[in-house]
Amino acid sequence: MEKKSKPPFYVTTPIYYVNDVPHIGHAYTTIIADALSRFMKMSGREVFFLTGTDEHGQKVEKAAAEHGVDPKAWADRVVVRFFDLWKALDCEPDFFIRTTMDLHEKGVQKLFQILLDKGDIYKGEYKGWYCVSDENFLTEDIALEKDGTKICPDCGRKAQVVSEETYFFRLSAYQQKLLDHYASHPQFVRPQSRMNEVTSFVRGGLKDLSITRTTVKWGIPVPGDPAHSIYVWFDALHNYVTGIGYDRDPALFKKFWPASIHLIGKDILRFHAVFWPAFLMASDLPLPDCVFGHGWWLKDEAKMSKSKGNVLDPYVLIHAMGPDPLRYFLLREIPIGLDGNFSHEGFIHRVNSDLANDLGNLVSRALTMIRNYFAGTIPEPGPEEPADADVRKAFEETKDRAIAQYESYALNKALEEIWAFITAVNKYLADNAPWKLHKDPALHPRLARVLLTAAASLRGTAALVAPVLPGSAQKIWEYLGESGSVRDVRFDLLAFDSPGLGQAVRAPEPLFPRVDLKAFLAEETKPAKESAMDEQKPLTPEQPSAPQPPIPAPPVVPAAPAKPLVTYDEFAKMEFRVAHVIEAVKVEGAKKLLKLRIDLGTEQRQIVAGVAETYTPEQLLGKKFIVIANLQPAVIRGVESQGMLLAAVAGDKSAIPFFEADVPAGAKVK
């Protein structure tokens, strides 16, 4: 009977902003994509997994200028952080797209031109709130202040209403078409709650979308009108087609487009579920099967964000244990549509209980017994008894159910199914007590049967967990004496019995050493390495133009321990205020110290600051900077200091960030 061939599978992550330091949120999306990609490959499907970086825009331009390099050179330097992290997490995209690549820029310009010719893009006037100091339009979602103005979120200054010439995308023309598509494709947006959100937003009416800026220089120029740059969303979203060969490799594009699943954080749902399908409809391209908005990882019930200081550095979690425990935890703990709370206790508990105890011990016990009792080669076994047949049956059922869960993107449930089987096999070994069978040579055929059943269970388990635990699954595979790679297993051919199984069993090493929570937390709170941004990193090689180039693989930076994480509550206890310097003198006999009298609005105080090697007292007089106002007073060289100023320190030099804007003394800084 001829088998129907399975459709190709195309999975994407959002392209991450290249200026960002990758954190657990980036890691989460990419790990989901990687696990799905590995699963679909093992299901016999042709797979394309795309990730990448968004490299245009003002923030990149600004950071580059601050470092005295051009924006592309800056992007080349910092993009390495993403290459490094994906390698460290065992994530293997088929292509890493960067929006500064020629193949992307050309594709975006071509699509822009098509829509312009069609009349879906037209020139008009954009009116919006603009920050003169940052040369940037504020996003529409920023609320009006009481006085009817808007405040720039980046610098805190008042914004002004400014109009500029811009190109619009005729989004308003697609309202009904989008609603029709949602109605006929109820799985287009998942989970269902997000679909409801999107539908009601579109029902509320769609305005045409400004998609170019004359104020942002670092972007893709509008074809024929280079004073305009194509704005972030029109540029970035099209990576999903340029990355798969749009207008460049028709065969590749035809094979994989439309995408099977766009994985996104729920904060960028509107762009992916409204703007993106409208762009595609306008260019007559088919729509993706599914936009899946995953939840956020929270820390202490708050969304992780840089401003809250509760961002988790993935390296801290993987440097001691490798990538598999983190991959397992993130995928096992919650369904991908919901928010999850990250706690170190929860993480370590999963590692110890599910990985070290359940799976790790099973591998170690079963294989050690095969080594000890039969020198690594299981002899001819006795007949299968009902208890053995039950394990075989449990495996077949587990396999079917786990595969069905993987296929519906319910990775946590797939893992639940597999772990129920692991528990059953542990119980089977306890019930059949091979260590007792071993004592009586007459029972050795029975012993061989029990250990063969255990080995077959482990072999099947290794294959089923391979999408989530690729490194550990391969180790189990090799310990069992299997040849080749577990990733080459095809699920439809995966049987419980395997000729040659248990004939060359190797001594296992502990897969998941138990982690002591106290020791882990202590390790985790050691000082962190400096941001990779400040390091001289190797530049990436010339950008490839072929569709599936290997990702440049710079050496993985050994993860350094981080500063202790503070909770948001701890952070909120600190009081930062604007200090105005009203007196400044040197501290006698201390060449580094200045004694400052500062005005905090409601009171005056004296502080001692170790900045005298960089600043003279005169240079500080009249200046405003940030102090931590509720630090316990300290006596420094006999002088009392009631607070501390904040400054960057490098060697003997220091640099105080002064306020340029006119802020009142004592104003809160948060």
| Residues found near Zn ion in the complex (CB under 5 A) | 131, 133-134, 152, 154-155
Least Å from the CB of residue 320 to Zn ion: 42
Least Å from the CB of residue 137 to Zn ion: 10
3-class SS of residue 579: strand
Least Å from the CB of residue 159 to Zn ion: 7
Instruction: State how far the Cα of 339 lies from the Cα of 349, in Å rounded to an integer.
Output: 19
- Of the pair 152, 600, the CB lying nearest Zn ion is at 152
Least Å from the CB of residue 578 to Zn ion: 18
- Of the pair 133, 540, the CB lying nearest Zn ion is at 133
- Of the pair 2, 662, the CB lying nearest Zn ion is at 662
- Of the pair 37, 136, the CB lying nearest Zn ion is at 136
Least Å from the CB of residue 161 to Zn ion: 14
Expressed in angstroms, the distance from the first to the final Cα of the chain is: 68
CB–CB of 255/8 below 8 Å? yes
Instruction: State how far the Cα of 89 lies from the Cα of 137, in Å rounded to an integer.
Output: 37
> Which residues contact residue 386 at a Cβ distance below 8 angstroms, ignoring those fewer than 6 apart?
none
Alpha helices in 238-351 (DSSP H): 239-242, 250-256, 269-270, 276-282, 314-318, 323-333, 344-350
Least Å from the CB of residue 261 to Zn ion: 37
Instruction: Let me know how long the chain is.
Output: 670
CB–CB of 618/594 below 8 Å? no
- Biggest CA–CA distance in the chain, Å, is 96
CB atoms within 10 A of CB 442: 7
Which structure tokens are listed for 456?
A: 């077959």
- Of the pair 534, 660, the CB lying nearest Zn ion is at 660
Residue with tokens 């400014």: 162
- Of the pair 162, 590, the CB lying nearest Zn ion is at 162
Instruction: State how far the Cα of 47 lies from the Cα of 6, in Å rounded to an integer.
Output: 11
Least Å from the CB of residue 667 to Zn ion: 17
Least Å from the CB of residue 233 to Zn ion: 21
- Of the pair 150, 319, the CB lying nearest Zn ion is at 150
Instruction: State how far the Cα of 601 lies from the Cα of 575, in Å rounded to an integer.
Output: 14
**Strand order of the sheet with strand 136-137?**
136-137, 121-131, 160-169, 209-210
Least Å from the CB of residue 153 to Zn ion: 8
- Of the pair 62, 190, the CB lying nearest Zn ion is at 62
Instruction: State how far the Cα of 127 lies from the Cα of 129, in Å rounded to an integer.
Output: 7
- Of the pair 138, 528, the CB lying nearest Zn ion is at 138
Instruction: State how far the Cα of 337 lies from the Cα of 88, in Å rounded to an integer.
Output: 25
Instruction: State how far the Cα of 186 lies from the Cα of 428, in Å rounded to an integer.
Output: 44
